[in-house]
Amino acid sequence: MFPSSCFRRHVSVVHVSVVQAQSMEQIRLGIEDISEGIQDNSATAEESSATSQQFAAQAAMLNEMVKQFEI
């Protein structure tokens, strides 16, 4: 049978291992959330870039149309 002090150390190691595993799971979930945020931001940036390019093209066309008028 284990001496009392060995048993307490074993229980302590098990407890610390469980706490560490829980902490690692929380970190994994946090990293997953950050990754999803980055993907969302990337998609938004791509959409904004495409919209900006469309606006630039429309502005250029409008500029050409306005040049036809005399003031």
Which of helix, strand or coil describes residue 68?
coil
pLDDT tens string for the chain (71 positions)?
556 677 677 778 889 999 999 999 999 999 999 999 999 999 999 999 999 999 999 999 999 999 998 76
User: What does each C-alpha distance from 59 to 7, 46, 50 come to in angstroms?
Assistant: 77, 20, 14
The number of folded domains in the chain is 1
Distance CA 45, CA 52 (A): 10
Domain that holds residue 62: 1-71
- pTM reported for the whole predicted model: 0.61
